Amino acid sequence: MIAGSRLQSVCRVWLQAVQAFRQGWVHFDLPIKESTQTRVVEFTEISVQGAIAKVGKQLLEEKVHFEEQKTKDVEEFVKLCTCTQESYPGFKKYDLFQIVDGTENFSEKRIVGSGGFGTVYKGELSDGTIVAIKRFDEHATDFNSEVQLLRLQHCNIVKLLGWCVHGKERILVYEFIHNGSLDFIIFDKTKGPLLTWYKRFGIIKGLADGLVYMHKHPLLWMMHGDMKPDNVLLDHDMNPKIADFGSARTLSSEAGQGQTSRVVGTRGYIAPEYASRGLYSLKIDVFSFGVLALVIISGRKNAILQQKGMAYVECWKAA
């Protein structure tokens, strides 16, 4: 009864044949003219082209926004460094040629560290001074916290020497600490045992002195935010230097606190309230320092890799 009748629809399709009725399902054999097929193909091509054009437009807009933001970040970096240089004459501006020459054009063999911020190179200036050169990647936004480091002048905090901006390049220059980071020594089977109890105590005390200075500074109260063996450098005499202030935050007072949705830290060292709710204060460093002290005493990592994943252990019981 349906065959030959006219069905009203958006496309007004003429039904010309009926194959069969099966269990309430109707199967139609609809002959399609060649011209109709051509229109379908053309419509499909237009739809695909439109989708590609839309995606291309979005990507272009995102690229333009990214370039504008990158330019804005560089301008902000220059302004911050220039103002800091006026307040601290010892904070020097370096030419990019000096940086490139001192790192052999950012050679891979000069790399001494890397992370989400960018890459750190061992460099040598024209006067023979050995320095650590931090080259920020284009996505980095933590350079403001790093420049704040200049206000902190303490024997247990790594010293910031200068800066360099050229085009989109953003670079900070630090004193070079020859023995590298604590994690390369404390966990090494050969070097670790050479750290006597006296030296371990000296490292813990030095870190405590540096943190107290940061937390009670008369001009700013700074939370480091990522205290761990990787961010502790050791000089020739095994004196510790707190480094990498990319996760640092300044507070309004010693008792100041805040909350953030951007939690930055290292699992196993990060305080529970900061990791779960984004609540931060100077107490965050105290928690991390406690874990770090136990790691230094035991000489063991606070986490071990097991078959089921990462398991966090009481490092002081693993000794």
Binding region for ATP = 134
> What span, in angstroms and rounded, lies between the C-alpha atoms of 157 and 170?
22
3-class DSSP assignment, residue 107: coil
Q: Return the closest-CA partner of residue 161 out of 205, 239, 98.
A: 98
> What span, in angstroms and rounded, lies between the C-alpha atoms of 108 and 265?
26
C-alpha radius of gyration, the chain, whole number:
31
Q: Are 158 and 206 in contact (CB under 8 A)?
A: no
Q: Are 125 and 191 in contact (CB under 8 A)?
A: no
Residue found by looking up tokens 């301008």 in the block: 75
* Residues with active-site annotation: 226
Q: Are 260 and 280 in contact (CB under 8 A)?
A: yes
Q: Return the closest-CA partner of residue 257 out of 239, 284, 237.
A: 284
DSSP-derived pairing of the beta strands 232-234 and 130-136: unpaired
> What span, in angstroms and rounded, lies between the C-alpha atoms of 135 and 173?
9
- DSSP labels for 114-170? E-SSEEEEEEE-TTS-EEEEEEE-TT---HHHHHHGGG---TTBPPEEEEEEETTEE
Maximum Cα interatomic distance, the chain, rounded to a whole number of Å: 100
- φ and ψ at residue 181, rounded to 5 degrees: -85, 155
